[in-house]
Every structure is written in C-alpha cells, then in structure tokens.
Amino acid sequence: MAGRAWLMALALVATPVAALDLPQVEVTAPPEAAPVAREDATAAATVLLPQESRDRQRTVTDLLDDTVGTNVRRFGGVGSFATVSLRGSGANQVTIFLDGVPLNRVDSGTVDLSTLPLAALSRIEVYRGASPVGLGGQGIGGVVNLVTLAPEEPRTTLSATAGSFGTVEAAATRSQRIGPVDLLAHVQALHTEGDFPFDDDNGTPLNPDDDERVRRQNNRQEQGSLLLKLAGDLGAGRWQLATLTFTRRAGVPGIGALQSEEARLAQLREVASLTLSAPRLGPVEEAAARLFGQAEASDFEDKKGEIGLGRQDNRDRSTAYGLTLRGGRHLGDHHQVSLLFQGERERYAATNRLVTPSDSTPQERAYLTLAVEDRIALWDERLEIAPLVRYEQYRYDFAGVVTFAGAPREIGDRDDRGHVTGKVGARLDLDSGVSLRASAGRHVREPTFGELFGDRGGVVGNPDLDAERGTSSDAGAEWRGDLGPIATQLSYTYFDLRLDDLIQLVQTGQRVVVARNIAAATIHGHEITADLRHGPLHLAANWTHLSSEDRSDDAFARGHDLPGRPREEVFARLAWEGERIAPYYELNHISGNYLDRAGLVEVDPRTLHDLGVRLRPSAARDLTVTCEIANLTNDATADVAGFPLPGRTLRAGVAWTF
C-alpha cells in the first residue's frame, strides 16, 4: 500500500501541470492590534513578526520565550542548545517546520532553536494544541512554523552586533529580480567565547563552604547560515526553490560543577524544498506539491570521557526526504474541503569510532500521512467549524547492530504501526468585538531514534518503548476594542492535556538517563494576554499558569509535578515606540520547578529585567541603532540544573537598509 502511494505521488509531481504552494498565513489584523494566525482560525495561535526583534539583534529563542504558553530551556548562553515546549509538553512533542518542511531531528525529535537564524524569517506561527491540516505533521504539544523572507523589491540589508563575552554577529540580505527569476540571499555568521562568570557549587548544593565564582570554559561557538530562495512564474502558477545551510563548530562545556576541557561538537545541516504551484488543477482548487528534504552530519568527540558515558568519538549522519500534496475544493456555499497526502522517509546512521565494529546498521523508517479537513462556514462566516481526520502509517527497518552508545548490541526490528487521529475546532465572532474559540484533538507520537537506541552524552536507548498518546482540548475568548483612548486586545484560554505512555528520560546514574514510558500524566492551565496602545505608548503582557501531575504507578513519583514544568511564567513589555527613539523595558518571571520525578532536584525561580533603546537618526531613516542590557540585576540563573546562564549582558547593534 505504502509503495503504491509513493509511486502515485511521484507521478503526480512529474506531470507538467504544477501544483500550488501551501496557502500563506495572512496577517490581516489592524495596525493597533496584535496579529492573528489565519491558517486555522479555530486554533489557539499566535503570529510573531520578528522585524523589531531583528533590529534589536534578538534570536528565535528570545522571541519564543516571550510568547504566551511557551517555555524555552537553554543549556547556556548565545549559540548554545535550546528547545521550546508548548503548554507543558516535551520539546520532542512540538513539531517545528521551516516553510512547511519538518525540522525535528531524526535522532532526538527535537529542534535546536539556536540553529535557526531569526534575521532570515518574516514571521513565526505558533499553534498551541490543534494544528492546521496544511502543515501535515502533528505535535502533541503543538506546532511552530517558521516562514522565511520572500523575494521582493531590490533591497539590501546589512547588520552587525557586538556583546558581552566575546560575542559578535554579522548578517547581510539581498533581494532582487534577475530576468524572470526573483532572488533572495541571506548570510549570517556568529562567534562567541561564551566565557561568562557563574556561581559553582562544586556539585554540593547543601554545602556553601566550597562554592566559588568561576568562568564557563570550553564554551566557544562559531556558527554560519546561508538562505537562498529562487522563484518565478510557471504558466498560470509559480515555482520556488529554497535552501538553508547551517554549520557550527563548538566546545561542549558540560555541567557547571564538572566542566570539560576538550569535548567538541561539529554540525552541518542542509534543508531544501521545491514548490510548484497553479491556482487550479482540474476540479482541484489551491492544489499544492512540495518536494523537501534535509540532511545533517554531526561529530561529537569526548576522548577524555568528560561528558556522559565514558570516552566517545561519535559520527552521526541522518537524512529525511518527502513529498507533500494538497488540494481543496468548495462544496456549496458553506463547505471548504482540504485533502493532504504526505510521505516521508528517515534514515539514521551512527558510528562509534572507539569500539569494534565501529559502524552500526542504519535505522530507517517511512511514514505516510493522509488527512481530510472540512471548514464549515455559517452565519455569514461568523461561525466556523473545522473537523479533521488524519491517518498515519509507520513502517520500520531497524534490525541490526547498534554501536552508537555503549558496546555493540543486536537489536530486532520494530512492528509497523498505524494511528488514526483528528481534531475539531470552532470559532464564533460576535458583534461586540468578542470571539469565542474551542478545539479538541487526539495525538500520537512514535519514539525518536535517540529514545530507542541512545544519544550522544548520557542517554541510554530503550527499544521496547511504546508510542505516546494524548488528548488535548482548549477553550477561550478574545476581545478587541477601545477603552477610551486606549486600543485594547484581551484574551483568555483554558487548556487541558492528558497523556498516556508518556516517554520521560529517567536518571539511572550520576551522568546517565534512560527513556521509559510512565503510565499517565495530566497537564492543564490558563493563558492570559493583554495588549494596550495609546499613541506611541505600548504595553504587552502575558501570563501562563500550568499544573501538571504524574499519574504513574511509581510510589515515589505519583502525584508530583512533571519535571521541567514551571507553574508560572509572566512576560511584560513597556515601550515608547517613537519614530526616532524607542526605549523599552521587559520583565520575564519563571517560577521554580523540579528536574526529577520525585521532586528532589529544584531549579530556583527567577525574575529577569531587560532595558534597551532603538534609535533611528533623522538624517538616515534606514539606519537603526540598538543598545540593550539583559538581566539587569545580574541574577544567577539556569533553565536546567548544572547548565548556568549568563548574568548581566550588554549588546549593541546597527542595521542599514538601502
């Protein structure tokens, strides 16, 4: 069945009539209001426009961290590994796309946010819970879609920034038309020494007598990225070719109490897609076809055994490629039906050059997704109901020898799996400026290769893992209007997530964790946002309250909070958005949370304060200068125990568009 589907899909792409790109999310909100995602109006979603953050030399990590319902975990300063979770989900329960191409790593299922260049993006779509059919894949926690810049009128942008701890960054973007082809090129480079000071407890948190102030070592990072986009007309439609290349060479410092001296990591990743488009293909409206793929090479060297499972010299190679087909059709005046087919194949090959045999058998799997969604519009489109049904089939080819983590061992194949999931959402717009919204869905996540077979460092694989299953629901309301002279937008959402066979990394030794299914867990909470504007004065704030509970049969864990889920997160930003000068203040508060299932290892709460200003000289309106002090009070802080974050940080940047 799967083979025939692949052949049919490839034949469709080979036809001379091109299919259409996925519909773009249009930000149609008025200038005085925050933008709203339109790909699925029934979903709890936020669209982030990073233009101002690019001017301030911020990162994808920073922008997501300030968004309601999100939690970002950083393992160090600028350029260090960082992940995002939505509504208390795990990082590998969030699916991240780049222009509709899935980015989640084949081995770990996560995406390192530090590898994504914000300056190359035009917007970020965050879907918390239910996700639109057009993105194909699902996520138990939600979906993040990164949309890159589009070729436009001839324009060049140059930017540079410098900051504390030997950090410098430069970027250049050029957009123009060459004959019939629209071209966009973006290049970005980053260097940081990362040698920030931090408080080291020497691994004895209950004994303050041996605490000392030391500097982070072996934390140097060098990164580079290149985005290329070509587009042009093709008959009545369009074609587009896009590639994003990322490279990194970095030290791996290890935990703060036991820093490494020589551990190294080198990465190279390529993401590419080809999209063909036409406004109509026979009876199909907005038909779409996209070929996509990504390849990643990673080399981790720790020959002194400073990190994780003894001495390591690992070479990791992974590839993923696939095809997405999409089409829609209006049926009568009230129905718009969308169909989606997506096929993808993943391959993961690992080598441990310190054992014999060094090469392991490549692990492979393929999966197909078939989905159908009906958008039902009633009452002059004031009421929208969107049911969706999705079927996913996984086919595994795992049998062989695994040598990546630990000694070589034989593994058996994994049974093929099939899952039926779906969601339904509804939105009602009232005359008073109030919108009501609700959605519910069922989700399944198959284990990642890293959870099944192990990962670099101290993660031991577990080939007997079952798939995670979960149901999510949310309901909320939004109001837009004026409170006297103040343009106002307020929203509230309640969410609930129930998980079965949740996969957690359980610590079994000082440096070793193993992936295991725990019986069940629940997460629920509240999201509140406020956006107030009066002339150039702008106040934006959000609050996320989250409660989680381990409902497994383990006596030491049952009833405790799930690890790494802070109960409270608050963000507020007050700014004077003048044309020439725009000062701002930001507050970010995260409550304490636990890192272990028994609730014994705790990360302290923190409240961070940032101050900054953006300047546009009147004589050069295309020139922007920014200065910022982050973590103004120099708080000692960490998202993860043992991985300190920088204290007070200064940075200044300049951007010029011509």
The DSSP secondary structure of 80-120, one letter per residue, reads: S-EEEEETT--GGGEEEEETTEE---TTTS---GGGS-GGG
Task: Check residue 195 and give its pLDDT.
Answer: 94
- Say which residue the tokens 């940075």 belong to: 651
Dihedral pair phi/psi, residue 9, rounded to 5°:
-65, -45
Dihedral pair phi/psi, residue 51, rounded to 5°:
-55, -50
List the structure tokens of 523.
């997460």
Which residues, other chains included, contact 348 with Cβ-Cβ below 8 Å and sequence gap of 6+? 106, 107, 316, 317, 318, 362, 363, 364, 449
List the structure tokens of 1.
């069945």
Task: Check residue 255 and give its pLDDT.
Answer: 84
The amino acid at residue 192 is: T
CA atoms of 532 and 488, how far apart (whole Å)? 5
- Provide the 10 A C-beta neighbour count for residue 542: 21
CA atoms of 411 and 400, how far apart (whole Å)? 6
**Run means of pLDDT, 10 residues per run, the chain, 658 residues:** 35 32 34 47 86 70 91 88 89 87 80 86 88 77 88 87 94 92 94 92 78 91 94 90 94 87 93 90 87 92 80 86 92 91 90 72 88 93 93 85 61 83 93 92 85 65 83 94 94 94 68 74 95 96 94 81 89 93 94 78 87 84 89 88 89 90
CA atoms of 21 and 274, how far apart (whole Å)? 9
Task: Check residue 375 and give its pLDDT.
Answer: 92
pTM, whole model, 2 decimals?
Answer: 0.86
Residue 160: alpha-carbon gap to chain centroid: 25
Q: Which domains does the chain have, with CATH numbers?
A: 2-657 (2.40.170.20)
CA atoms of 145 and 94, how far apart (whole Å)? 11
Residues in the chain: 658
CA atoms of 550 and 553, how far apart (whole Å)? 9
- The answer to whether 539 touches 586, Cβ cutoff 8 Å, is no
Burial of 104 (0-12, 13-18, 19+ CB in 10 A): buried
- Provide the 10 A C-beta neighbour count for residue 503: 24
Task: Check residue 456 and give its pLDDT.
Answer: 52
